[in-house]
Amino acid sequence: MKVLITGGAGFIFSRVAEFCLNAGYEVVIVDKLTYAGDLARINHIYDRIKFYKADVCNQKDVFDVFEREKPQIVIHSAAETHVDRSILDGKPFLESNVIGTYVLLEAARRYNTEKFINITTDEVYGELGGEGHFQETSPLRPNSPYAVSKTSADMLGRSYLRTYQLPVITVRPSNNYGMFQYPEKLIPVVFLKAYNNEKIPVYGKGENVREWLFVDDTARAMLKIIENGKIGEIYNVGSSEERRNIDVVRKILDIMGKSDELIEFVKDRPGHDFRYSLSCDKIKQELGWQAEVGFEEGLRRTIEWYFNNIDWLLNKIEQLRKYWELAYKQ
């Protein structure tokens, strides 16, 4: 059976591609290779997959790939994903995340895809206070341009399920971390800054809470959804491993043997959601999946990988400097 993965050279779904290969699926990857896409993530499996460099917003190119490959399963993950960048400029998020999803849904409809797995985010739900968890039935109340664009993609999938009977499944994961994550997200930013003994920017007082999910657990969840996910259903994918941002930063510094004095609190970003937390009872009960890697274990594995692959991180610095200046204002 053939699986087409959009965004398959990205951090999370390059790992999903490898898990799919190892499970016996044929894998086709479509990726535009923007700043966050990187063939280095799939070099070790490149001769076992088919790769197309294409923009998911380009309908002709996408339809050409579907005409050639005719995948039975589509995992649509290609997206602009960083909230901070969406605050600086929301247009690329609307283009990629909304128009791109529309194009993929149309291709899947034309070429009779058997299962369309639409990847969105826990941020579609908005924010929580200090208690409670989002259920799949919780109302959608997105607050950032990124979250709004992914909610639009989420609802587009729902509309194609209802209007055209397209076999859509929606997946809403929590914050992923792990090897090869582009250093605009918290954990690799902290590692890279600490490695270079530079000040580490922390928004506000660092009290915002996120639920941290190791990337291999996400890949295992995707296999369960490919194999047994029910058409029309929504699945939260989380870990119950909640941490305040400041605690994550301090843990990384502790593992690296660095001082807390590197921490520098900066102006909070606009509209910063306080807390996300997912109930994953549904995927556990229906598909038998739950996260296996605890946060401390996953964090240590991630940091070890960064140390062993430091050149990959250091090569990203020049393209990040200007962005860091814009994002982390005092």
Is 146 marked active-site? Answer: yes
203 neighbors 105 (Cβ within 8 angstroms): no
Architecture category of domain 2-176+214-237 in CATH: 3-Layer(aba) Sandwich (3.40)
Maximum alpha-carbon separation in the chain: 57
DSSP conformation letters of 25-55:
-EEEEEE---TT--GGGTGGGGGGSEEEE--
pLDDT at res. 235: 98
Catalytic residue among 18, 84, 123, 242: 123
Q: Could you give the angle at the alpha carbon of 158 between the alpha carbons of 157 and 159, nearest 5°? A: 90
- Nearest residue to 5 via CA among 60, 47, 42: 42
153 neighbors 101 (Cβ within 8 angstroms): yes
Is 122 marked active-site? Answer: yes
Catalytic residue among 146, 203, 235, 306: 146
Write the pLDDT tens digit of every residue in 76-106: 999 987 888 888 888 989 999 999 999 999 9
User: How many of the other CB atoms lie within 10 Å of CB of 166?
Assistant: 21
Backbone angles phi and psi of 30, in degrees to 5: -120, 125
pLDDT at res. 313: 92
Domain spans of the chain? 2-176+214-237, 179-210+242-274+295-322
Q: What's the CA gap between 2 and 21, in Å, rounded? A: 10
Radius of gyration over alpha carbons of the chain, in Å? Answer: 19
8 neighbors 21 (Cβ within 8 angstroms): no
Task: Report the Cα 134 to chain-centroid distance in Å.
Answer: 18
- Nearest residue to 192 via CA among 303, 267, 84, 272: 303
Tokens of 164: 């055209």
Catalytic residue among 31, 38, 55, 122: 122
Q: What's the CA gap between 179 and 289, in Å, rounded? A: 22
Task: Report the Cα 63 to chain-centroid distance in Å.
Answer: 24
Measured N-to-C along each axis, helices 295-308 and 186-195 cross at an angle, to the nearest 10 degrees, of 50
DSSP conformation letters of 255-311:
HHT--GGGEEEEPPPTT---B--B--HHHHHHH-----S-HHHHHHHHHHHHHHTHH
238 neighbors 176 (Cβ within 8 angstroms): no
Query: 179-210+242-274+295-322 adopts what CATH topology?
Result: UDP-galactose 4-epimerase; domain 1 (3.90.25)
Task: Report the Cα 277 to chain-centroid distance in Å.
Answer: 16
Task: Report the Cα 45 to chain-centroid distance in Å.
Answer: 20
Beta-strand relationship, 242-244 and 209-214: antiparallel
Tokens of 63: 């339809």
Domains 2-176+214-237 and 179-210+242-274+295-322 belong to one CATH topology: no
Regions in the chain scoring below 50 on pLDDT: 330
